[in-house]
Amino acid sequence: LELEFEQLQQNLPGWVRASQPCSAHGRVAAYIPELSKAPGEALGIHLIDAQGRTLTAGDSSLSFTMQSISKVFTLILALIDNGEKKVFSKVGMEPTGDNFNSMLKLELVRPGIPFNPLINAGAIAVSSIIGGDSPDEKSSRVLQFFRKLAHNDSLDYDYEVYRSESDTANLNRSMGYLLKDNGVLEGDVDDVLDVYFKHCSINATCADLSRMALVLAFNGTDPITGENLIPRRYVQIAKTFMTTCGMYNASGEFAIQVGLPAKSGVSGGILSMVPGRYGIGVIGPALNAKGNSIAGVQLLETMSQQMDWSLF
Ligand code: GLN
């Protein structure tokens, strides 16, 4: 492990430099207008191990909204609040093969439950069962939970991005109403969507993502503080979804090329981990056609192949 850390330390800057140019072939997300302001050529990474040793390279200080990465942790919070039985009455366990914002299959399975909790429809359904008496209380419970996992009390919303998404979210709103009509979504549709937009707009850095990933890499216990933050079973569920659905409809390819649990977001962030070893946060705002960071995926492929990290 010592040797591995040294090898990483030596090679990381070079791997980032080699991966960065492919960002020119990607595009920053623009359907949420505020996201289009991100620097498309940026690429950064932060890695942390169980002793709290960190490695960073590239534009690792950039902050960005978590977007779909947040879905992993709202799923976990919903599991803590409701248990498995309830959660899986709202969402399925299967990848879709469709885009993250697709409504295509919402009418197909059991009366209209989303295929999984990491697509938009599934995450909106999950948001509806997060504990709390009001949308504000639900949102603040989510934020507190994220702060605890990231070990960072200053984690907060990017209100610009939040408003930008809320103002333009016709597709997500229509999903919310369809889910309500299907009897899946609990409570008021606009209230639920507000909780969803808020958790997508939580601002973070690669360091935050890596610390949250580290907790998953160690089955729910923060190895640095020794604190148990998530029951092991729920981490297992989350990591399985990350492996099968975490990179949208490119999850199969990512499993073959990288072979690590990961979750991406449209702001270009990727949270990944080497189970039992490292938490990893990556940012590269330029996306490929499937909506994943183009340079970020390239970097993780290089690292995993060079370090022989694939779980398979
Ligand atoms: N907030 C984004 C949306 O709902 C999250 C999508 C994503 O990161 N893929 O469209």
Parse the chain into domains and list their residue ranges: 2-64+206-223+230-307, 68-200
| CATH number assigned to the domain with residue range 68-200, chosen from the 4 options 1.10.10.10, 3.40.50.720, 3.40.710.10, 3.20.20.70 | 3.40.710.10
Strand 156-157 to 202-205 pairing:
antiparallel
- Distances in Å between the Cα of 194 and the Cα atoms of 159, 172, 226, 251, 268 are 12, 11, 34, 28, 22
Which ipTM value was assigned to this complex? 0.97
pTM: 0.97
For residues 1-17, b (16+ Cβ closer than 10 Å) or e, as one string?
Answer: eeeebeebeebbeebbe
Phi and psi at 125, nearest 5°, equal -60, -40
* 3-class DSSP state of 270: strand
**Confidence at residue 150, expressed as pLDDT on a 0 to 100 scale:** 98
Please give the average per-residue pLDDT across 246-258, as a whole number: 96
| Atom number of ligand 1 nearest to Cα 291 | 9
Asked if residues 267 and 24 have their Cβ atoms less than 8 Å apart, the reply is no
Same fold for the pair 2-64+206-223+230-307 and 68-200: yes
Catalytic residues: 68, 71, 196, 248, 266
In the reported structure, the alpha carbon of residue 53 is separated from the centroid of ligand 1 by a whole-number distance in angstroms of 31
Q: Is the pLDDT of residue 101 over 90?
A: no
Nearest-atom index, ligand 1, CA of 264: 8
- What pLDDT is recorded for position 2? 83
Question: How close is the Cα of 178 to the center of ligand 1, in Å?
Answer: 18
Task: Summarize pLDDT for 17-59 with one digit per residue, the tens.
Answer: 999 999 999 999 999 999 999 999 999 999 999 999 999 999 9
pLDDT value for 106: 72
Residue 96: pLDDT above 90?
no
**Cβ neighbours of 39 (radius 10 Å):** 16
Atom of ligand 1 nearest to the CA of 100: 9
Choosing from 35, 101, 196, 288 the residue with most ligand 1 atoms within 8 A of its CB, the one to mutate for a pocket test is 101
CA dist 134 and 258 (Å) reads: 40
Q: Calculate mean pLDDT across residues 69-97.
A: 96
Q: Over 60: is that where the pLDDT of 109 sits?
A: no
Residue 99 confidence (pLDDT): 81
Mean pLDDT of 225-233: 98
Q: At the fourth CATH level, which superfamily is domain 2-64+206-223+230-307? A: DD-peptidase/beta-lactamase superfamily (3.40.710.10)
Query: What distance in Å separates the CA atoms of residue 252 and residue 292, rounded to the nearest whole number?
Result: 13
Q: Show the ligand 1 pocket: residues with CB < 6 angstroms.
A: 67-68, 100-101, 120, 165, 172, 200, 265-266, 291
